[in-house]
């Protein structure tokens, strides 16, 4: 384990100062090995992983079937040259296709979710250059990149697509009236997560996605569903939009797509966009993405979901997890405001970020990893419980029992201490470095 010595000093110096601060405050160690729902740290300490990197490790860590598929493809042909195609991409399409809404006909690769957004913004500029308005949900998340085309020195490339659509209108998630209002002006596209994720987990009211579809249809606007977090069983369905019978024009997939064994994302497009996509001056996707090894990971992940009946299991385990979380949090309404979610996309909504931090630290002492918010500045963050879909009742019980004892400890602390933790969380990056090293 000697390679881990000084890791956080190096993290501080070379990569990510704020992450190093968080690691020091929370006494976080580095993950050295992981299998199934268990993570082993640099000191050999074992954790139950109910964070799964915010949903990436949907099928648990190092699933044997996916690792075997990746290994075999790596030994055969891991990568192909940019711009060429490989049968693995077709195999992935064939595996995905039965789970998609009707009439989805195109598969366009990327490496990250942010890239899916970038590609889509390019498509929008090309399709409706006169429409500037993009409607998104408040607290939605579609990536963090910033306009690479704008700084492209080869002006021919940026000239092909014109300016990026700039007028972004944010509407409260799930609110029909605000959504209607946003469509008073011509809308180029509406981006929605079928269940709002991050530390804001919110299930929309029934009919919201269909209403979004209808509004887009009245104006010939593009409807984009970002299922990067919800799909592949996280929210208890293979695809949320398919289950609700609403076809988007574009669908984003990533995270669980490869069971966490390769970085890959894709945009799936409806057949009504085929001509527009074909008329793009450059490829819609990233010609370097969709490598054979990533596609084979995707095929294997979908097979695992099917063969292990993981969607049904996620629904049942999700219902059980929420039932247990509701029961253990009920005595503490001043600390936990709600247990929102659907399927295994759930968590506890904390009265303030200081509570989230205290619960996180308490659960860490009990050897349990949860998904916490770092920089989202949520007033009432949802501390996320995102176990692998194969989670067992015993594992859920262990986590719920641990939460019960941590909540009792937190509730017993004086109110001023809880307020201090809230103040501390808000200023967590603002202290001198030596203080974090003491922590």
Ligand X SMILES: Cc1ncc(COP(=O)(O)O)c(C=O)c1O
Residues at the contact surface with ligand X, assessed by CB under 6 A: 54, 112-114, 141-143, 193, 197, 226, 228-229, 254
Max Cα–Cα distance, the chain, nearest Å: 64
Nearer to ligand X, 351 or 382 (CB): 382
Smallest separation, CB 262 to ligand X (Å):
12
Nearer to ligand X, 114 or 221 (CB): 114
- How many whole angstroms separate alpha carbon 60 and alpha carbon 41? 16
Nearer to ligand X, 200 or 284 (CB): 200
Look-up: residue for tokens 């070379």? 14
Smallest separation, CB 146 to ligand X (Å):
12
Smallest separation, CB 430 to ligand X (Å):
25
Joined together, the tokens standing for residue 106 give 């195109």
Joined together, the tokens standing for residue 76 give 């055969």
Q: How many other C-beta atoms can be found within 10 angstroms of the C-beta atom of residue 417? A: 12
Smallest separation, CB 144 to ligand X (Å):
7
Which distant-in-sequence residues (6+ apart) come within 8 Å of 398 by Cβ? 48, 368
Smallest separation, CB 251 to ligand X (Å):
12
- H helices of 279-352, in order, are 292-307, 310-329
Helix (H, G, I), strand (E, B) or coil at 383: strand
Nearer to ligand X, 124 or 402 (CB): 124
Q: How far is CA 348 from CA 34, 388, 390, in A?
A: 25, 17, 21
Nearer to ligand X, 80 or 140 (CB): 140
Q: How far is CA 195 from CA 207, 374, 420, in A?
A: 13, 20, 33
Nearer to ligand X, 193 or 237 (CB): 193
Joined together, the tokens standing for residue 385 give 């419980």
Tell me the residue number closest to ligand X, measured at CB: 113
Smallest separation, CB 201 to ligand X (Å):
11
């Amino acid at each position: 384990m000697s390679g881990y010595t000084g890791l956080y000093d190096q993290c501080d110096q070379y990569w990510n100062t704020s992450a190093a601060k968080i690691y020091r405050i929370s006494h976080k160690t580095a993950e050295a090995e992981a299998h199934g729902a268990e993570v082993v740290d640099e000191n050999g300490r074992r954790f139950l992983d109910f964070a799964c990197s915010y949903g990436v490790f949907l099928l648990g860590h190092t699933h044997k079937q996916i690792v075997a598929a990746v290994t075999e493809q790596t030994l055969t042909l891991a990568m192909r040259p940019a711009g060429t195609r490989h049968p693995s991409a077709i195999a992935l399409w064939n595996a995905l296709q039965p789970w998609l809404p009707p009439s989805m006909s195109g598969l366009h690769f990327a490496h990250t979710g942010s890239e899916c957004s970038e590609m889509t913004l390019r498509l929008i500029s090309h399709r409706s250059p006169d429409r500037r308005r993009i409607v998104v949900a408040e607290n939605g998340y579609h990536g963090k990149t910033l306009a690479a085309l704008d700084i492209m020195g080869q002006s021919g490339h940026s000239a092909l697509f014109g300016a990026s659509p700039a007028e972004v209108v944010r509407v409260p998630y799930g609110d029909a009236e605000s959504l209607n209002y946003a469509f008073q002006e011509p809308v180029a596209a509406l981006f929605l997560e079928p269940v709002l994720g991050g530390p804001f987990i919110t299930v929309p009211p029934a009919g919201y996605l269909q209403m979004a579809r209808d509004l887009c249809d009245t104006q010939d606007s593009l409807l984009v569903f970002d299922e990067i977090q919800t799909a592949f069983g996280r929210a208890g369905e293979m695809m949320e939009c398919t289950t609700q019978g609403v076809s988007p024009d574009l669908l984003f997939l990533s995270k669980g797509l490869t069971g966490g064994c390769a970085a890959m994302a894709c945009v799936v497009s409806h057949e009504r966009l085929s001509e527009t996509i074909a008329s793009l001056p450059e490829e819609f996707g990233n010609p370097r993405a969709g490598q054979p090894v990533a596609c084979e990971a995707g095929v294997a992940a979908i097979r695992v979901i099917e063969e292990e009946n993981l969607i049904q299991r996620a629904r049942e385990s999700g219902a059980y997890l929420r039932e247990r979380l509701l029961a253990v949090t009920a005595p503490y309404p001043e600390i936990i405001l709600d247990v929102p979610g659907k399927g295994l996309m759930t968590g506890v909504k904390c009265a303030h970020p200081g509570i989230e931090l205290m619960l996180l630290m308490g659960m860490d002492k009990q050897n349990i990893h949860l998904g916490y918010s770092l920089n989202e500045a949520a007033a009432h963050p949802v501390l996320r419980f995102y176990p692998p879909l194969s989670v067992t009742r015993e594992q859920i019980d262990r986590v719920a029992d641990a939460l019960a004892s941590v909540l009792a400890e937190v509730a017993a602390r004086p109110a001023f201490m809880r307020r201090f933790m809230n103040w501390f969380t808000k200023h967590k990056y603002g202290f001198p470095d030596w203080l974090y090293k003491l922590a």
